[in-house]
Structure 1
Amino acid sequence: MSDGSGGGVQITADALIHLRARSPLARRLAIESPYDRLFLTEAGAGLAKMALSLDPVYEQFNLVRYAWFTRRMSQHAARYGQVVVLGAGYDTRSIALPELRAGKCRVFELDYPDVLSAKRRVLGDNGVALPEGLRYVPCDLNADDPGSRLAAAGFDASAPAAAVMEGVFFFLGGERAAALLEPASLGLARGSALTFDAWTETRTRTLNEKIMRKTGHRLFGDAPLGDGAEEAAAALRRKGYGDVTVVALDEIARQYGVDAIADPMRNSWLVIDARLD
């Protein structure tokens, strides 16, 4: 792919692929995917350059987050018979990770129809076969009903599942993002898990202001989980999630030995694990 077009999520996915393919830190964290090179775009490289100029921890936090989510996705695949990847973009872990491609669990990837179509085409053109258990589910998370789209694709709402949403939540509209956290919106049964990352109100507002000055428009939706870890955990418990863990990416970065650059907006980028009672 030589260029990219479309809304924020899919172009940002290109930017993250650019980081994983080009960053020495990605090699140090051993998170390079054999398929990332297929989705490198000029648009993604340009957006990565802009993002790096706006957010000093953009590279470190995104790569550490990817490493952390990769491990969690493997764990979910070993525990659950169904894994839902919301806003999958051009991510190829469903193909690259042994735990996901083995076929022991069914994987449902949701994203814009044109993104999934392009993804399927690029992989096919390069001789990459999709695992039998992988389903591409066309869905605009800001407009469509993901629960009904999942059901039509064969998702079993009576069985526990793991839903994963990495680098997607803050692009959604505030009300839509909040609604997506309702277990019924995805058809999640008791015992299901939800793993995602989110920004606080402060981080969202600060980065939107920077982008407004540079581009003239906002990129991120309003933050529906408050301004800190405790508020985020409380919001999820009100929606029926019992076991909720919220950790700032600052801490996860330290766990991975990545602490050279301090985030000026400390503890404002949260990684959330929640289990439905």
Structure 2
Amino acid sequence: MTRLAGEPGLPTGVSRTAVVITQAREAESARPDRLFDDPLAGPLADAAGRITGISEAGRHAAEHFVLRTRFFDDRLREAAEAGLRQVALLAAGLDTRAFRLKWPEGTRLFEVDLPDLISFKEKALADQGARPACDRAVVPADLREDWPSALLSAGLDPDAPTAWLIEGVLMYLTPDEAGRVLGRVSELSPPGSRLAVEHVNKAYAELPQMRPAMGRLASTRAAWRSAVEDPSAWLARYGWRATVTHQADLARALGRPVPVMADPRTVGSARIWLVDALRDEVRDEEGHRPTTGADDDAVHR
């Protein structure tokens, strides 16, 4: 089903990018060798209004979305196995992990996103009779504003280790905005918390193959606004010990071809960073805790 003019659907702007990702999850779920199963992806794509005429770069991006989904699924499973029972998904979009993953008893999962998107998603899920596999709370909030207050009001315990996921959003924020998000996450994360995050470097954003996609994103008020050159160093400034996984290694480990847009033979030094990190009680040489403010030295416009 393609959304017609005047029909209800997902709001425009960054929120519309979630539809392409959902369609990629739907296609993956139909494969006999699928890396995950997302039975709600198709109904959500229908309700949102499917995106047609996807470019070649967009089709290649679908390979990334599939690997990324599995990567972050596994990181959240590891957090649960480590005993974390509090999960926060920032800019959750049309994510359905609260419904499709097997969560241990006592898990509470928070989804933070823009009010219009959450309103749309809640109706679409209700229409499907979807029931979460954990205690799920939705938090309408803009990551550029005071989302921590909304999250705390929804019941997040700042003294409990949290598994955070920041997937597919940091590149849409300015360097200052991205730094503030990480700072606020860090302030709410006691030792033992975990963080899974995606970003890109400047070379990736400037790939010739990405120019058509960048133009379309800009036309829908969803331009990429930042990049990071060393995600481990960047996260270390906020007190996180990070591990970066190369997509080529991830693809080979999962028995899949290396995505064209992640193959160094094709894209050179361009990178999509897939990162998982652990929150330690880190202090610098003078015994001070790391800063939680924005850091423009590591993030570039």
TM-score by shorter chain over 0.5: yes
Over the aligned positions, Cα root-mean-square deviation in angstroms equals: 2.7
TM-score (norm 2): 0.78
Give 2:67's aligned residue: 64
- Conserved 8 A contact 2:107-2:134: no
- Conserved 8 A contact 2:171-2:226: yes
Give 1:187's aligned residue: 188
- Conserved 8 A contact 1:211-1:219: no
Give 1:258's aligned residue: 256
Q: CA deviation at 1:184?
A: 5.0
Aligned residues: 267
* Structure 1 residues 22 and 81: CA distance shift in structure 2, 3 A: closer
- Conserved 8 A contact 1:233-1:245: yes
Q: Does 1:136 align with 2:141?
A: no
- Secondary structure class of the residue paired with 1:40: helix
AA aligned opposite 1:188: S
Q: Does 1:10 align with 2:5?
A: no
Give 1:163's aligned residue: 164
Q: Does 1:87 align with 2:91?
A: yes
AA aligned opposite 1:60: E
Deviates more, 1:90-99 or 1:216-225: 216-225
- Secondary structure class of the residue paired with 1:98: coil
Structure having the higher helix fraction is 1
Distance of 1:29 and 1:161 partners within structure 2? 28
| Deviation string, structure 1 residues 81-111 (Cα, Å, up to 9, x no partner) | 2100111112111012111xx5421100011
Give 2:234's aligned residue: 235
Q: CA deviation at 1:43?
A: 6.7
- Conserved 8 A contact 1:88-1:109: yes
TM-score (norm 1): 0.84
Segments of structure 2 that go 5 or more residues without pairing to the other structure are 4-8, 281-301
Give 1:74's aligned residue: 77
Q: Does 1:173 align with 2:174?
A: yes
AA aligned opposite 2:206: R
Q: CA deviation at 1:23?
A: 4.6
Distance of 2:130 and 2:29 partners within structure 1? 26
Distance of 1:235 and 1:163 partners within structure 2? 16
Q: 1:187-226 maps to which residues of 2 (within 5 A)?
A: 187-206=188-207, 209-211=211-213, 217=219, 219-226=222-229
Q: CA deviation at 1:156?
A: 0.7
Distance of 1:68 and 1:54 partners within structure 2? 21
* Structure 1 residues 120 and 248: CA distance shift in structure 2, 3 A: same
- Secondary structure class of the residue paired with 2:228: coil
Q: Percent identity?
A: 27
- Conserved 8 A contact 2:148-2:184: no
Segments of structure 1 that go 5 or more residues without pairing to the other structure are none
Give 2:291's aligned residue: none
Distance of 1:214 and 1:83 partners within structure 2? 33
Larger-gyration structure (1/2):
2
Q: 2:123 aligns with which of 121, 124, 141?
A: 121
Give 1:31's aligned residue: 36
Structure number with higher relative contact order (C-alpha < 8 Å, ≥ 6 residues apart): 2
Deviates more, 1:83-92 or 1:169-178: 169-178
